[in-house]
Structure 1
């Protein structure tokens, strides 16, 4: 067993003392010199050992053990995150109070799971109108379900069912994210609200504030058009969207979006979608019909102001022959539909975690701007352009709750004038 140098020196001294007592003066001096030499050797060994230990410790501090960045990311962020949003709304028409109603408009649960630092699953499950059954008006649906992978160059790829990156509302539609009790008409009737498709998408954000999205997805099915119902008048594309439900995929669609955030508080962007909608149906009267939808949007938030605007237009081509088969029905397929809105909000009061923001919005939209293929004098007239002014306020309570109130004035159809109250949350 190897002894500590200091212990060895002490033992040497104790062993030497008895002999010193019987030694002559010459022997004594010789032995003292020898003992001193050995003590110096021990001191040198102690100094060397200490120097070696200090060097090892310094090297360990300067060169820490390699760290797995994926493990650090997963430790700093929960692997599975629960989110959700919902709203309860009250609508009271001013012309007919008996038509007032309260609705649990929607309740949504989102589950996001991160497999590693670069791969995640995003899901959202939605229930609308409180009760879902064969005899009720409620709906239960999968709003999103996709896998996203991020690469080292900043490119992101996703596959599954995801929201289209159009307008200001479609990808940011939680009630805490917009003003007013109800979602605006342009991004509900012209751009179908929470519009999603199944497919693949690529996106990236550049250092200059520019972000882009490209995708190849499912599209619309014009064979679903019901010329005898009013749904197509309310929102042409909402009446023929497939939502990932046994979606016909003979004809796939493409989309592209650009957004620029190069100035603090400013967003400028645009979007275009194109896809054939006959889906290869046999003997279909519009075999090459195509939907094209585009929008341009802007939002600017200087200080307490929040200013926004959207212009959107859609077309459905080669519908003349199809509309001829709908003769006598009230809702032929429109060849064009469009709308726009401008909105301004101002944070007038803030105290602690409360914030009060009045707003005003003006919009025009037409879900049947023009028709094709109708005989002169017997066809359905193009729809009127509805003009709606909305004024109200949002009261934020903390970070995730909002109380809303507004009044809407319809110029073309005053019977739709109404008072709206609402509660929403998001977490």
Structure 2
């Protein structure tokens, strides 16, 4: 049985009542779902607003889409900054403070996307506004993972860190599901012309409003960062203290994340677009398949988290990495313009992916002590996601434009093999107490 630290008297002020675990889960998960709805709405609706914001290249219809995914990647490269800065806020001022700031930034970025002018109306100002909005959202989402990961795992009871960890991707998936579902609904109700002219803006305006809801819910959360005990040093951790004092752990975060983030963004975000540009799949049907597979994925997460609490984190991680290393190429080659083929490929990938997503938050949090946990996770994790996850749609579309679409599946397979080697070296942390 795990000796994980619960949220108990030593984690709240003297005389205060320990917070309900259900309330803690709700505060983290609902706010996180709103954050990721705002983030993912961009990728699901890119095919509709690309032509509005970017001009077409001479005779090449992929130029606007490629440019839009380049901005998607630019937003990811702001995530390490957010992970570092918001992680430091979480370690210095508390997890709840950081979670409040991140959701405010995300709502503002979503509103800015909704108000982005067209290229025809504003010229170069249009892509500049879009880039600025994604930079703000990238800063937010980089800090969100660091703060919410530490908050969730520190809120867990004995032997339940894996289960609580899974809520990171349950809520992330709910956010994706909302984005995909609303995108599919708008596509069903509106014509392609209406979606391209103004329909896509509705989704981003809704995201800005949902951010206010998430902010209100998070006000009820209680802090999980333990107060400084008598006799302990009171100075707050430096901005780069985690990197300086724990370089091995920082590199481990990169290795743990590399294959997982590429597989994750390929299967949950880019696959509908991959099917459209490589197999001629219908836009609306691709969004519907994405929505169905994401619902299936959300159901799998707590099962994976519970299993990891019982048998450990490593077996799930190794199954994920080896599965993708072997099956990524044949699975992506099975994608055709048939509805059933894309749904099958996406659901098989979701089963394998759960071995990573259900335990990633727990594994990351179990590597660092509480004093630098948020910043220690935030920077290396977000930097790796930016390098491999955020560029997945761009790299896949670029391979297609270059005439080598078959290389992208091999790229996914190779990086998952690298992570498999890293997982072999990891110690099992499921039954270790959470370091304070």
Same fold by TM-score greater than 0.5 = no
Shorter-normalised TM range: under 0.3
Computing the radius of gyration from Cα coordinates, the structure with the larger value is 1
Q: Which has the higher contact order (CA 8 A, sep 6+)?
A: 2
Q: Which has the higher strand share?
A: 1
TM value normalised by structure 1:
0.23
TM-score normalized with structure 2 length: 0.23
- Please identify which structure carries the higher helix content: 2
